[in-house]
Structure 1
């Protein structure tokens, strides 16, 4: 068991070190599960996530759910979650398109300062499971709805890009010149940006394989999950492009997980996992590496 845990921890360290430019975080979860017979169970829990190189609490929240298992190989579930999320400063490149020629030209930047937003989430799901020897293979399909509450943030708008000649002319005329991202602008405006409420629908598909170690209550597993936004239709883009947002941008995120669960007397379950998020959705942009620590009390 110690050797297996060492291998898991070693894999986490290697994978985390391989992408130093990406974000890194620690996710924590504490939950409880109550079984009613062999088919029905209720569960709930709280979570906290620490990201931005583990310097900020980026999410806090709680969840409740119910699971019904009519057969050994199939179970259904539904649940609700409340989350308070931190949104990092966001920089959007702005472009203007000529109505006659269709030519797109750079017009400036919108910089939205970081802020927090409450979210309400509902989901339904089905999980199919196949046991082969001591291996278990499962496929989970989840339909998820999230309501984002409205909020406000400070926004800076840079407009009127200037070249060196235009910059010198502005300065000669006594007009202000602003610099951002090594570029010059003739206009800078600070405003309160209203973040309107929005609704998002996602399909989240997860394939997982786990192994039941004989004589040891330790179950290692690995999984891959794809989150796909239904609001934007089906597409293949995984990264946001400010020039094309609203047309071809399609939020999509992959999540790769490797970890293990250790259960004591079928009641106390401890979890340790390495998680890698790749891609973009309405919650995150860019790549994230995280260590997931969890505990669940079952009775």
Structure 2
């Protein structure tokens, strides 16, 4: 409750726009790449531009290992634009029931910026509703960011609540439109995003 109260004092509006490419190497292996642009401060400023490369391996029909490397070029306000980079590694499990799919993803994330290292555990639960006859997939996810360290591990660094719609444009292309409510100890944000995905 304390986190939500503090965040409500400094809400802002932001946008995320991205393009993602997925390449299926084999029935188990896939590669991915993505580019994203983010705005902040009620669309008045650019926030960051990012690029990432990732890989995934399905060890079982319901369990996937994933890894990702990202580079960010961020607007640090009075400090100007700065580079930072991070990697993520983890696993995602799936459970399907008729038209519903429930997934749980756990990522370990480390971010490097000007000699500092920030480590976090990212836990996300997501439910999808996607009837076979539909070209539209509805989903809702909740993601928790926890700092890793002796004194801060059980604190909440960030919460994200994201409902969205994924529209299948063709056999290879889709468009994901979402709203994200993000809470942090010092601020919160209302984010509208759109991401185009191409699978080859």
Matches for 1:39-78 after TM superposition, within 5 Å: 39-78=28-67
User: What does the per-residue CA deviation read over 1:106-148, in whole Å, with 9 as the maximum and x for residues that have no partner?
Assistant: xxxxxxx453321111110100000011100000000011101
Comparing 212-221 with 50-59, greater Cα deviation is found at: 212-221
CA distance in 1, matches of 2:24, 2:57: 10
CA distance in 2, matches of 1:230, 1:115: 28
Deviation of 1:265 (Å) = 3.0
Partner residue, 2:4 = none
Within the candidate set 190, 202, 218, 2:136 is matched to 218
The root-mean-square deviation of aligned C-alpha atoms, in Å, is 1.7
Within the candidate set 180, 187, 195, 1:286 is matched to 187
SS in 2 for 1:235: coil
**Larger % of strand: which?**
2
Partner residue, 2:70 = 81
Deviation of 1:266 (Å) = 2.6
User: What does the per-residue CA deviation read over 1:24-57, in whole Å, with 9 as the maximum and x for residues that have no partner?
Assistant: 0110011111101221100101110011101111
Deviation of 1:235 (Å) = 3.4
Within the candidate set 179, 199, 202, 2:120 is matched to 202
CA distance in 1, matches of 2:46, 2:194: 15
- Structure 2: stretches of 5+ with no match in the other structure: 1-7
User: What does the per-residue CA deviation read over 1:195-216, in whole Å, with 9 as the maximum and x for residues that have no partner?
Assistant: xx30011100000000013411
Partner residue, 1:140 = 105
Matches for 1:1-299 after TM superposition, within 5 Å: 22-88=11-77, 113-149=78-114, 197-231=115-149, 232-236=151-155, 238=156, 252-280=157-185, 285-299=186-200
CA distance in 1, matches of 2:138, 2:103: 14
CA contact (8 A) 2:37 2:48 kept: yes
CA contact (8 A) 2:129 2:138 kept: yes
SS in 1 for 2:184: strand
Comparing 136-145 with 259-268, greater Cα deviation is found at: 259-268
Compute the TM-score of the two structures, normalised by the length of structure 2: 0.90
> Larger C-alpha radius of gyration, 1 or 2?
1
Partner residue, 1:154 = none
CA contact (8 A) 2:10 2:187 kept: no
CA distance in 1, matches of 2:80, 2:183: 23
| Number of residue equivalences | 192
User: What does the per-residue CA deviation read over 1:41-77, in whole Å, with 9 as the maximum and x for residues that have no partner?
Assistant: 0010111001110111101010000010122110011
CA distance in 2, matches of 1:291, 1:114: 26
- Structure 1: stretches of 5+ with no match in the other structure: 1-18, 89-112, 150-196, 239-251
SS in 2 for 1:199: strand
Comparing 136-145 with 29-38, greater Cα deviation is found at: 29-38
Greater RCO (CA < 8 Å, at least 6 residues apart): 2
User: What does the per-residue CA deviation read over 1:74-118, in whole Å, with 9 as the maximum and x for residues that have no partner?
Assistant: 001111000012235xxxxxxxxxxxxxxxxxxxxxxxx453321
SS in 2 for 1:145: strand
